[in-house]
Amino acid sequence: MTVQAVKGTRDILPDEARRWQRVEEMARRQFRRYGFREIRTPIFESTELFARGIGEATDIVSKEMYTFTDRGERSLTLRPENTAPVVRAAIEHHLFQRVDCERLYYIGPMFRYERPQKGRMRQFSQIGVEAFGSDAPALDAEVMEMSMVFLEGLGISAATLAVNSVGCKECRGVYREKLREALAGRVGELCVDCQRRYRENPLRILDCKVGCRRLLAHAPTLLDTLDAPCREHFEQVRGTLDLLQVPYQLDPHLVRGLDYYMRTTFEVLGASLGAQDALLGGGRYDGLVEELGGPAVPGFGFACGLDRLVLSLPEPSGPSREVPDVFVAALGDAAWERALLLVRDLRRRDLWVEWEPARGKALKSQARKADRLGARHTLFLGDEELRRGFWTLKTMEGGSQREIPSADLEGLVKELVG
């Protein structure tokens, strides 16, 4: 019996990997314009980091983490998210001392034990950004604007920005009690998880994935309980979004599934993913750095799943797969040796070049290989071409042929990139 991929994981094959690369390249290009630099953290961390950073009452920590004991009897966890590891790294390497506002981004795999479904696997990849050092409302709006620019650059235009404020610890303490009061007579209608959440942290009911939020349709909202500083902060965030001409919707029931969020929270929803419509989300986490042993440094960021972004990309207008720029076909020992050097020289000029490395292959066999690969051009080298100082270049689409002087390498390159 053959060994297959583990449930909840999947292979990203070459043709699909092109789409992933496009998303990653767009992220690096857009984030750089806003001053973000890349950071890469380990795939596993101390379990304590996530228990303290995310919150022990969250579903992620209580049910979804891949945790194991290593040979040194240390409890380690495959990272389920990357904000806490980035904060840990920034504290450990004193990044907060470099500038007033440190801006970082990451791209990499995360792990959560969840029921696999479309766009949500147990091993999944995320792109995320973290901005530290400023509690200015304009920073929140700037990062949200950047997230929309990023999606627009990918051609994802049917996306909606939803924003809310979850206030500070004091605001949430008041709101938790209001939620308990609003649900006191309906606890039995909650799902098993939300009955536990009702006791431990009723705000998590707002993040329920099986419909318990409907019981809160007429309950008070977080916005109703914001204190004056939190209300002022959120009004300035919304005002800055208006100045930036970023459309958004107010969602007073929007919370995030992590306990470290405070004040601004947001999600960007896509139109093509059905029920799992969140493309990215994030918010402010001003107490997290201090909670993990660092200075009192505010933070704001977001994360998005690559699987969902790739599913949301518009269909490409060009070929569905990449093809070589040229296939070099050689006939004869002298031509083979010349082809070896030519392949090297063309690759050094950033061209995708294929050839037949085995000596003595028939020209017809090499031509069939060029067809199978879908090469845009085939360049024929034989003893006659070497003697005359010309190569024969065939364009596969249309079948036209022309001679290229063998001494004019740059002219050949221009023909190939045409």
> Domains of the chain: which residue ranges?
14-168+227-312, 326-417
Query: What pLDDT digit, counting tens, does each position of 66-94 carry?
Result: 899 989 999 999 999 999 999 999 999 99
User: Mean pLDDT for the chain?
Assistant: 86
Q: Which residues of 14-47 are buried (b: 16+ CB within 10 A; e: fewer)?
A: eeeeebbebbeebbeebbeebebeebebeebbeb
Q: Residue 50 — pLDDT band, cuts 50, 70, 90? A: confident
Q: What is the pLDDT of residues 241-262, one digit of tens each?
A: 999 999 999 988 787 656 678 8
**Residue 57 pLDDT class (50, 70, 90 cuts):** low
* pLDDT beyond 60 at 276: no
Q: Is the pLDDT of residue 111 over 90?
A: yes
Residue type, 130: E
H/E segment holding residue 155: none
pLDDT digit string (tens) for 342-375? 999 999 999 999 999 999 899 899 999 999 999 9
Paired tokens of 246: 């970023």
Which residues on neighbouring strands pair with residue 132, listed in sequence order?
A: 102, 299
Q: Burial code of 254-293, b = ≥16 C-beta within 10 A, e = fewer?
A: bbbbbbbbbbbbbbbbbeeeeebbbbbbbbbbbbbbeebe
pLDDT in the model for residue 199: 75
Give the pLDDT of residue 320: 59
14-168+227-312 and 326-417 share one fold: no
Provide the pLDDT for residue 161.
Answer: 95
Q: What share of the chain is helix, strand, coil (3-state, %, to 5)?
A: 40, 20, 35
pTM equals 0.83
- pLDDT number for residue 88: 94
If you average pLDDT over each of 46-60, 132-146, 156-170, 400-414, which comes out highest? 132-146
What pLDDT sits at residue 64? 86
pLDDT bin (cut points 50, 70, 90) of residue 407 is: confident
Report whether pLDDT(273) > 80: no
Q: Where are the beta strands (DSSP E) in 119-213?
A: 123-132, 159-165
Q: How many helices (H) and strands (E) does the chain have?
A: 14, 16
Which of the four pLDDT bands, split at 50, 70 and 90, describes residue 272? low
Residue 38 to residues 106, 129, 307, Cα–Cα distance (Å): 6, 9, 20
Question: Angle of helix 333-347 relative to helix 409-417, nearest 10 degrees?
Answer: 70
- CATH fold of 326-417, please? Rossmann fold (3.40.50)
**Paired tokens of 23:** 């998303």
CA torsion sign for 387, 393, 398, 399 is: positive
Spatial separation of the C-alpha atoms in residues 208 and 111, rounded to whole Å: 20
Closest CA to 102 of 116, 113, 91: 91
Q: What is the pLDDT of residues 288-342, one digit of tens each?
A: 898 888 898 999 999 999 988 998 888 765 555 788 999 999 998 899 999 999 9
Q: Choose among 351, 359, 410, 404: nearest CA to 379.
A: 404
pLDDT given at position 33: 94
Among 3.40.50.11900, 3.40.50.300, 3.30.300.30, 3.30.930.10, name the CATH number for the domain at 14-168+227-312.
Answer: 3.30.930.10
Residue 319 pLDDT: 58
Q: Which of 165-169, 376-380, 414-418 has the lowest mean pLDDT?
A: 414-418
What are the beta bridge partners of residue 390? Answer: 405
CB 300 within 8 A of CB 83: no
Closest-CA residue to 92 (of 146, 141, 44, 49): 49
Calpha distance 354→105 (Å, rounded): 36
